[in-house]
Amino acid sequence: MIDLHLVYDLAGLVFAVVAVGCALQRGAPRRASAAAFWGLIAVSFLFGDRLGDLGNGWLVLGLALFGGVFGLGPAPAAETVEGEAAARLSRLKGWLFAPLLVIPVVTLAGSLALPALRLHGQPLASPKDAAILAMAAGVVLALILAMVLTRAPPLAPARAATRLMQSVGQAAILPQLLAALGAVFVLAKVGTAVETLISRAIPLETPLTAVIAFCLGMAVFTMAVGNAFAAFPILVSGIGAPILVGRFGGDPAAMGAIGMLSGFCGTLMTPMAAHNIVPTALLELPPWAVIRVQLPTALILLAINIALCDLLVFHHIPI
C-alpha cells in the first residue's frame, strides 16, 4: 500500500534541492545559514520519523537558530525571459494555464480512483491518504507538462524553487508549525478551558447558541493562531464533540466540515496566516492591504456558515 511517506520524501527532496541551491549562491549574504535552515527542513521530512522526540527537538532548535537568529538573507533577483524563450511563451497563450489545471483534475480523479485500485488483493492507497497522494502526483505531472510546454532547462525548477523559498522565507513552514501547535493545545487540554470561557460569555443551552459559539470560536481562534488546522482540535474537543455531537446529537461530519470553513473565514482576517503574509511580502503591498480586501467576504461567509451549521448539523435540511 502506498502511504504518505512517499509525499514526505518528495517534499524532503524539494527542500534538499533548495538547500543545495542556497549553498551554491556565491557571494549571497548568509547563504550558509539559509542552506542549513532548508537542509534541516529536508531532514525533517525525509527522516523525521526516525529521529525520535529528542532528535526532532534539536532540529526545531536548529531551525530557530538559523532562521530566527542568523537569518536567511535576501532572495536573488528574478530571472528575466528574453529573446526566443519570451517569444515561445507568448505563443503558448492559454496553454500556460494547462499545468495549473492538471493539479485539481488529477487530485479529484486520484481521490476517487486510488481507493478502488487493488494490488495483490490490497487497496493501492488508504481512502484517508488518497487525496494527498493524488495531489502530489498532480504536482509532479504539472511540473513535467510545464517543462515540456516551455522547453525549460532541467535546472530551471530548482532555481525557481530556491528563489521562491528565499522570497517567502520562514513563513513557508508556518502551516506546519501552527498545525503542531494545535496538537500541543489538545494535549494541554486547552479545549476544555476554551469551553469553560465561552460558556460563560454565551450560554450553551440550545443547539443554536452552541453553533454560534463553535463557528465564531473557530474564526476567532484561527485568527489568533493563524491556521484553521491549529484551531480545529481546540474547538472540536471543547465544543464540537462534547456539546454539538454529544449533548445535542449533531452530525459530526457536517460539524467538522462547516467548522473548518468557519476557521477559513478567520484566515482571511488575520496577519498570522501565511497566505496573507506572502503576497504582501512578494508584491511589496502596504500592511493589511490583503486583509482589508478580504474582510467583507470573510464576514459574509462566516454568517452563512453559522446558518448552514445550524441547518445541516441538526438535519433541519436533510443531507
Q: How confident is the model at residue 83 (pLDDT cuts 50, 70, 90)?
A: low
Query: What pLDDT shows up at residue 190?
Result: 74
Burial status of residue 198 (CB atoms within 10 A of its CB: 0-12, 13-18, 19 or more): buried
Query: What pLDDT shows up at residue 282?
Result: 67
Query: What pLDDT shows up at residue 141?
Result: 94
pLDDT, tens digit, 9 for 90 and up, residues 18-76: 999 998 888 778 888 999 999 999 999 999 888 888 998 899 899 989 888 888 877 66
Stretch 199-215: mean pLDDT = 85
